[in-house]
Amino acid sequence: MIEARQINSVSKNNFLSLMESYEINYTQISKFVDLENLNPNVIGRSFISNNKAGEKKLLLFVESISNHTVFIKFSYNYFSNDEYVSYVDLKIFLDSKQVEIIHSNELDHRKPEVTIQKFHTMRLTKWYKNYFLSLWLNNCIENGYSFDMQSEV
């Protein structure tokens, strides 16, 4: 069961809350991805994990790594064991211990119903994306996904 303190529940009206959401997402992702094993040797490699029920596989692809950042992608095998559908792309800031969502197919299908003032649009969009990421990371943890960088595909 998800407790209120575990969910990224910070206010969405300022820059500091956005940074706090990045930090919460870093804490969440570190619970099921072994961040210490993300090194240049795993660039371009994919790793797989099953959920507790064994129904759906989650694929982690390490796109690039620099001194302070890592770009990774997650994909699900919704329809078959061999075909994976891209779900979310993340940027991990190793030095500041933050995670930012770069892209998500899930969020691309949703259109905001309310027009937001232009000044706040970018920050609010990032906040909502990272709130979604927090919920998704919680779901991954609850469903038992785990990546130790040993389960290469």
Global pTM reads 0.77
Q: What pLDDT is attached to residue 70?
A: 96
In a domain, residue 78? The reply is: yes
In a domain, residue 150? The reply is: no
- Give tens-digit pLDDT for 57-77: 899 999 999 999 999 999 988
Greater confidence, 80 or 86? 86
Tell me how far CA of residue 50 lies from CA of 23, 97, 150, 152, in angstroms: 26, 26, 13, 13
Q: Is the pLDDT of residue 133 over 60?
A: yes
Q: Is the pLDDT of residue 42 over 80?
A: yes
Position 96 confidence tier, pLDDT thresholds 50, 70, 90: very high
Query: Which residues form the domain of 85?
Result: 13-107+114-142
Q: What's the total number of domains in the chain?
A: 1
In a domain, residue 46? The reply is: yes
In a domain, residue 63? The reply is: yes
In a domain, residue 1? The reply is: no
In a domain, residue 48? The reply is: yes
In a domain, residue 3? The reply is: no
Give the other-Cβ count within 10 Å of 73's Cβ.
18
Q: How far apart are CA 132 and CA 106, in angstroms?
A: 9
